[in-house]
Structure 1
Amino acid sequence: MLHIAICDDERVFVNHLKELLSQYILETGEEIKTSVFYDGLDLIEKYDPSFDLIFLDIQMKLVDGLRAAERIREKDESVGIIFLTTLAQYGLEGYKYQATNYIIKPLQYGRLKAELDKFIRRRHIEQEPALVISNDTGKYKVILKNLRYIETFNRNLLFHTEQESILCYRSMKEMERELQAKNFARCHTSYIVNLAYVKGVKKLEITLITGEKIPISQPRRKSFMEQLTDYWGDML
């Protein structure tokens, strides 16, 4: 299933794009779900981390596509974005937000099919493990390879990624179960660590490749070291 969001304030164009997507579904058999937004602000406020690809118009009245893309990248670093524009220079500006591509209107079926075929092929090859977490500010897609460690924080969890730290209301036990077979290890009552970031261990302290120090509790040290040794062995 491919979840596509369309964000464009021209209702005629939105209907045209939906018709082209229906044609693509009939021709390819691909399962596609679409969600429609008529302004960037609406997309931001109702953002769904299950989106795989967004067709995003650059020129909209309230919140334009570039500002919307900037906010989206704060929540989701992996979703594909194809900018829609009538002027090429705006599309080029969109690459600052890791755009998949940009399309100059009007949109023809041949161009849409080529873009979707390319996106789906790349998605099958590059799709990275991720998890979705929620807090009062919204939902976030966290790519596991970018998650350094998780720690307890005021009875909640704090996810430390390469880009930022994100509050999460799930439990440590729940996250330990979910990440168990994904190269993460519980080293302390209050910490789960991504083994890919471990640089070394000395006594009851882990040093990450970022220079950060994470404690190991004595009861968990043996199990953690066994997991780390297995991970390093697989990497050799």
Structure 2
Amino acid sequence: MYHIVICDDNTEDLKRFVDFVQSSREYENSMKISTYSSGVDFLEAGKEAVDLMILDMQMTGMDGYETAMELRTYNSQAVLAFCSSVCMPSPEHFNVQPYRYLLKDYSDEKIMQAVDELLIEMKRRSYKKRLEVTQDGKAILLEAEEILYLGKLKRGTKVVLAADAALYGKVTDLVIREKLEELEKELLSEGFAKPHSSYLVNLKRVRAVDNMELLLENGEGINISRSCREKFHHAFSEFFSRKYRRRTS
């Protein structure tokens, strides 16, 4: 189920954008729409998973940009659209990766077209494998393809992200509550493999492999244990042979 959030302190504008979303040719009855009259109300609602957020820039108290910054601390994937009556974007606004910027005085036809495009992009992004994990009691959505590797800890799992990960704040190391064994079930079919009982690596991010060790794109090396060696090298060969076939087909 897709979750769409619309946040605006003007009740008429709030209703207007709900109507636009529900009238879109891309709208599906299974989609959930939540509305909030302030950024504070949205954040206090529990920081649940969000796929699309339409956000008023000029709200009293916490404005749209401040709300978007908080959203990006735990959700790098959501499609974000700023809307405003007069406010124009500044360079800092692009730090939170908005997908669209809408003026409220646009014609209904122009806004409707933009909403169609927002829903299409929301669906497109959902095709990527995402993990909903917990860090310090806070739910975070991670894109599987942005993970370099996961390492087992006594309590939970260490997640190391690629340098180009979209998670706001350029965070690259996380400690999450979920156990490696739980995540392994979701990720082995997504191009991940185990070089060691305590590690799960993203084969897309591996740059070199020999019999004893692999090298990741950040320059970090991970040992390949004797017990995992045969299975890991088989997974590595299979992954890259499939990748090569896709490129040449």
Give the whole-Å Cα distance in 1 for the aligned partners of 2:8 and 2:152: 40
CA deviation vs aligned residue, 1:17-53 (integer Å, no higher than 9, x gap): 223334x06x66623311122222332342222x221
Q: Give the TM-score of the pair, scaled to structure 2.
A: 0.83
Q: Give the TM-score of the pair, scaled to structure 1.
A: 0.88
Contact 1:58 1:90 survives alignment (8 Å):
no
Match in the other structure for 1:96: 95
- Change in Cα spacing, 1:11 to 1:107, as seen in structure 2 (3 Å) is farther
Q: Which amino acid is the alignment partner of residue 178 of structure 1?
A: E
Match in the other structure for 2:61: 62
Match in the other structure for 1:146: 146
Match in the other structure for 2:217: 209
Contact 1:83 1:94 survives alignment (8 Å):
no
Contact 1:157 1:172 survives alignment (8 Å):
yes
Give the whole-Å Cα distance in 1 for the aligned partners of 2:144 and 2:63: 30
Give the whole-Å Cα distance in 2 for the aligned partners of 1:96 and 1:159: 23
Give the whole-Å Cα distance in 2 for the aligned partners of 1:9 and 1:120: 22
Identify the match of residue 176 of structure 1 among 148, 162, 184: 184
**Mind listing any 5+ residue stretches in structure 1 that lack a counterpart?**
none
Q: Which amino acid is the alignment partner of residue 36 of structure 2?
A: F
Q: Please say if 1:112 is aligned against 2:111.
A: yes
CA deviation vs aligned residue, 1:180-220 (integer Å, no higher than 9, x gap): 21100112121100001111223432211210111222101
Query: Residues 3-42 of structure 1 correspond to what in structure 2 (within 5 A)?
Result: 3-22=3-22, 24=23, 30-31=28-29, 32-42=31-41
Identify the match of residue 193 of structure 1 among 201, 204, 208: 201
Give the whole-Å Cα distance in 2 for the aligned partners of 1:135 and 1:161: 14
**3-state SS, counterpart of residue 224 of structure 1:** helix
- Change in Cα spacing, 1:91 to 1:20, as seen in structure 2 (3 Å) is farther
- Change in Cα spacing, 1:21 to 1:119, as seen in structure 2 (3 Å) is closer
**3-state SS, counterpart of residue 155 of structure 1:** coil
**Mind listing any 5+ residue stretches in structure 2 that lack a counterpart?**
163-169, 245-249
Query: What percent identity do the matched residue pairs reach?
Result: 24
Contact 1:157 1:169 survives alignment (8 Å):
yes
Give the whole-Å Cα distance in 2 for the aligned partners of 1:113 and 1:107: 10
**3-state SS, counterpart of residue 76 of structure 1:** coil
Q: Please say if 1:233 is aligned against 2:244.
A: no
Q: Deviation at 1:107?
A: 6.2
Contact 2:84 2:104 survives alignment (8 Å):
yes
Q: Please say if 1:135 is aligned against 2:143.
A: no
Moved more, 134-143 or 174-183: 134-143
Match in the other structure for 2:173: 165
Contact 2:72 2:96 survives alignment (8 Å):
yes
Q: Compute the RMSD of aligned alpha carbons.
A: 2.3
Q: Which amino acid is the alignment partner of residue 218 of structure 2?
A: T
Give the whole-Å Cα distance in 1 for the aligned partners of 2:78 and 2:136: 21
- Change in Cα spacing, 1:91 to 1:38, as seen in structure 2 (3 Å) is farther
Contact 2:27 2:119 survives alignment (8 Å):
no
